[in-house]
Amino acid sequence: MMKLFGLFKQELAIDLGTANTLIIQDGEVVVDEPSIVASNRRTDETIAVGRKAMQMHEKTHEEIKTIRPLKDGVIADFKAAENMIEGMIRMIGRKRRFFTHLKMVICIPSGITEVEKRAVFDSADHVDSKETYLIYEPMAAALGIGLDVEEPVGNMIIDIGGGTTEIAVIALSGIVTDQSIRTAGDELTNDIMGYMKRQHNILIGERTAEQIKIHVGAALPELEHPPEDFAVNGRDLMTGIPKQITVSYQEIAGALDESITAIEEAVLRALEATPPELASDIYRTGLYLTGGGALLRGLDKRIASKTKLPVHIADDPLRAVVRGTSAALADTDRYMPILIPRGSV
């Protein structure tokens, strides 16, 4: 009998990020898609989620609209968030619905309200989840990096996602201090759009700006391993016709400087707010960078020189949170102190 139940089990770890949603099933990443939904403007019917919806982004017409359901680390559009979660779960396929015990752990930003938590639980109910837990992002990130979160030792995690940078100190299965600022990946992308307009007189879209960030984004104007210049197509503001220009990482480092300074200052504030005993741990262990922003060239070096602390970039930083969520899912009994069960909200 036990074996039968085992057969009909489906377990999903979900990282519901502002920029990307990831799902791990049986230890494997089965969904890694941008957090976006395309729907019919009139009927509100979902047309596509994830990458497919992203392809329609900024190219929509009266019939179709695209929505990023999460903004600044919170759920901005409940209905769209629900449709997105359902759509992504449908991508992997729900195992036979009857007799299948669906268990999920969903990672949520720590700034989320009780109402929003309930909305996430409701979305889980919609896909017939029988057992659902939530886990806070910095905790999942720490687990995903492989830190021992149950120890009486402080660790600082800096997670730079799409909408927010979250800086948390974790010890004894709890979040001791937590700072969240709205300067993160999206803001850096905006900086690049603004810069291209001001400096080069060209209009570029969000996706092109993101490509620039990935190809020649930098936090320092001098890098040991500089990337090659990047060619960009945009629309000339004067003539209105498409034009191509080339950008260097030095330029982009300048364009991003102000936002990076805001992130640095938040890190310094978080260090100031850390109780002294834990601060002394952090001086020893250093800071851990996760989230897509951790991949920005030279960011680790820049934060290290500002704080005079060692800075580590997590392996595969875009997946640290979902890996940690999956670790919690694999042993919910052990990790109960850091999980949020249905009944608590």
* Contacted entry of ligand ADP, Mg ion, none for residue 299, CB cut-off 5 to 8 Å set by kind: none
Q: Residues 19, 89, 140, 143: which binds ligand ADP (CB under 6 A)?
A: 19
Q: Single out the segment in contact with ligand ADP by CB under 6 A; choices: 14-22, 126-134, 220-228, 279-287.
A: 14-22
Residue 25 β-bridge partners: 12, 28
Query: What part of residues 314-333 is at the interface with ligand ADP (CB under 6 A)?
Result: 318
Q: Residues 161, 217, 298, 324: which binds Mg ion (CB under 5 A)?
A: 161
Asked if residue 168 lies in contact with residue 156, where contact means CB atoms within 8 angstroms, the answer is: yes
Contact call for residue 185 and Mg ion (CB under 5 A): no
Per-residue string for binding with Mg ion, 105-144, x by CB under 5 A?
----------------------------------------
Contact call for residue 144 and ligand ADP (CB under 6 A): no
Contact call for residue 69 and ligand ADP (CB under 6 A): no
Contact call for residue 154 and ligand ADP (CB under 6 A): no
**Rg value, the chain, Cα:** 21
Q: Which is nearer to ligand ADP, 161 or 234 (CB)?
A: 161
Q: Where are the beta strands (DSSP E) in the chain?
A: 9-16, 20-25, 28-34, 37-40, 46-49, 64-67, 70-71, 74-75, 101-108, 131-136, 155-160, 165-171, 174-181, 202-203, 230-236, 242-247, 287-290, 311-313, 339-341
Q: Residues 14, 17, 105, 289: which binds ligand ADP (CB under 6 A)?
A: 17
Contact call for residue 293 and Mg ion (CB under 5 A): no
Q: Which is nearer to Mg ion, 84 or 278 (CB)?
A: 84
Contact call for residue 303 and ligand ADP (CB under 6 A): no
Q: Which residue reads 């936090």 in tokens?
A: 219
d(CA 22, CA 34): 9
Considering the complex, what minimum distance in angstroms separates the CB of residue 320 from ligand ADP?
8
Contact call for residue 23 and ligand ADP (CB under 6 A): no
Asked if residue 185 lies in contact with residue 19, where contact means CB atoms within 8 angstroms, the answer is: yes
Q: Residues 11, 12, 14, 17: which binds Mg ion (CB under 5 A)?
A: 17
Contact call for residue 292 and ligand ADP (CB under 6 A): yes
Helices 78-92 and 114-126: crossing angle, nearest 10°? 40
Cβ neighbours of residue 71 closer than 8 Å, sequence gap 6 or more: 18, 163
Q: DSSP readout, 75-138?
A: ES-HHHHHHHHHHHHHHH----STT-EEEEEEEE-TT--HHHHHHHHHHHHHTT-SEEEEEEHH
**Which residue ranges make up the site for Mg ion (CB under 5 A)?**
17, 161, 321
**Which residue ranges make up the site for ligand ADP (CB under 6 A)?**
17-20, 161-163, 185-186, 210, 213-214, 217, 291-293, 295-296, 318
